[in-house]
Structure 1
Amino acid sequence: MRLSLTLAAVSLAASIALPLGGASAKEWKEVRIASEGAYPPFNFVDSSNTLQGFEIDLAHALCEKIKVTCTIVAQDWDGMIPALLANKYDVIMASMSITDERKKTVDFTDKYYQTPASIAVPKDSKLTNVDPASYKGLTVGAQSSTIHSNYAEEVLAKQGASIKLYPTQDEANLDLSSGRLDAIVADKVVLVEWLKKDGKDCCKLVGDIDVVKYKNFFGEGVGGAVRKEDADLKAMFNKAIAEVRKDGTYEKIEKKYFDFTVY
């Protein structure tokens, strides 16, 4: 089954709406999955303008298990949940953490990965730890509307840090490398991948945030977001997630992008 979709086709795919009155499990013939395309290695756009990454490969595998036709579309992060609720697509697979706050608006599948949150700083920084008190008077960046920005605004800001938010993680990374930030908060895997490439000469990790202590910010892992009324679709994806975990498909995809487990 051919499942990839270039960004040029996004507007067409997004215009297809579900039948009025919802759908039962047997009526799901097409499932539209949205991802951001700006959060490597989990989701990104390649040189041919096609969505790629761990989540994209996983989405393809889940659709094969579910045996439905899937299209994968790109959506800016800030509009993810509103567009889901507006029926522009059916599932979000964009490194969206399962949090109590988001559960008020949407439902989630079982988690399909969970990684630490970390802080990166310039190589010449005197920062040596992630203790919130150490960031007093400093400017810290994060991608807006994320668990990392929530932590920065609620924890670091209360300790006297100035918080600057960005539409994408790449923009936050760029400002750190350009000396316009003292630190950034993000997913550890995303930061490590950036530090291996574009950030290797400028920046370093200072440590991981205690996600157990701050569970109210960092949630229960990453899952697929669905509309609350689509319980049948959630059940289909949960079954598929369990199957790819059991039969080795998940591990095969994981090894393509990581040399450690992200589950």
Structure 2
Amino acid sequence: MRKVLLMMMVCCGLTTNVMAKEWKTIRFMVEGAYPPFNWTTEDGQLAGFDVDLANALCEELKVTCVIRKQDWDGIIPALLARKSDAIIAAMTITPSREEKVAFTAPYARVPQRFIMPNQRDIDTSQEGMGKLVVGVQRATIGDEYLSQTYPDIEIRRYNTFDEAFSDLLNGRLDTVFGGAIGLRSGFLDTEEGKNYHFTGPSYTDPKWFGKGVGIAVRKQDEDLKALLNNALDTLVKDGRHKSIADKYFSYDIYHTEVM
């Protein structure tokens, strides 16, 4: 009898492991503060490329789409705590993040850049950087890169880039460092940013700046990762990805590596 029960338990266990979850709803998280990828409108609605892409993925997969806002520094902990199923928030795929979560194939590529007033250009030597006060968004790849590469600079960390832009305008920062697309759309292309420009190189080294922007899921949700990868591949091949991207970007977001 014990052998029979053991065999039944083993068989049931194997069956449970093999059976994939039937995903009827996918709960996405965005930051809601990083245009044009995602932002919060005046009436509290979420908008942007990430939001439209999430809806298109759900439409392709024929599942219900739930999209909610989560502050950046708590976005991975919220995923691991099962408060959502996936993060679609312009998150770059990096080795340190891959230790915590799994990523789909990239759906965008974003170099990192510095911005400064038009009359100034950045000196990226250790001596030059040591004279600067640099603004970054907290817990981003830009924050990590500067912290480890330039130990003598003063880094000020912000919850959102909008807070950093405000301090840059008020002279409390010399420069802001971050994803070039967000810096352009969120600041340089605005009236307030008309007297500022990109300066220095475009940073794309995969060691620091990852393999592109992907959708993050929990490591155990391999079935969800596969579903999203298949749907993303379909959207790219049939042109829907480009159609969505063209609403927000004047360049090829899928292949862009340098701006």
Q: What's 1:4 paired with?
A: none
133-142 vs 239-248, greater mean Cα deviation: 133-142
Checking the alignment, whether the CA contact within 8 Å between 1:177 and 1:203 is kept in structure 2 is no
Task: Name the structure 2 match of 1:11.
Answer: none
The one of 209, 221, 235 equivalent to 2:226 is: 235
Gapped regions of structure 2 (runs ≥ 5): 1-15, 255-259
Which residue is 1:207 aligned to?
200
Matches within 5 A, 1:39-188: 39-125=34-120, 127-128=121-122, 130-131=124-125, 133-156=127-150, 158=151, 160-188=152-180
Q: TM-score, normalised by structure 1?
A: 0.86
SS at match of 1:234: helix
Does the CA-based 8 Å contact 1:130-1:208 persist in structure 2? no
Structure 1 alignment gaps of length 5 or more = 1-20
Q: Secondary structure at the match of 1:228?
A: coil
1:224-258 deviation line (CA, Å, top 9, x unaligned) = 11001100000000001100000010110111011
Q: Structure 1 residue 225 and structure 2 residue 220: aligned? A: no
Deviations 1:154-175 (A, max 9, x none): 113x3x2111111111111111
* TM-score where L is the length of structure 2: 0.87
The one-letter code sitting in structure 1 at the alignment partner of 2:197 is K
Quote the Cα distance in structure 2 between the aligned partners of 1:231 and 1:43: 25
Identity of aligned residues (%): 42
1:228–1:161 distance in 2 versus 1, CA, 3 Å: same
Residue deviations 1:113-152 (CA, integer Å, cap 9, x gap): 0111100012333x24545553122111100110111112
CA 32–205 in structure 1, closer or farther in 2 if over 3 Å, else same: same
Query: Which string of whole-angstrom CA distances, capped at 9 and with x for unpartnered residues, describes residues 36-89 of structure 1?
Result: 000000000112211000111111111111111110000010110111011100
Question: Which residue identity is paired with 1:171?
Answer: E
Distance 1:122 1:181, change over 3 A: same
Distance across 2 between alignment mates of 1:248 and 1:238: 15
Counterpart of 1:62 in structure 2: which amino acid? Answer: L
Q: Deviations over 1:85-109 (max 9, x none)?
A: 1110000001111111111111111
Letter of the aligned partner of 1:60 in structure 2? N
Deviations 1:187-236 (A, max 9, x none): 11111111110432442211333322xx2221111101100110000000
Structure of larger gyration radius: 2
- Contact kept in structure 2, 1:29 and 1:68, CA below 8 Å: yes
The CA RMSD over aligned residues, in Å, is 1.8
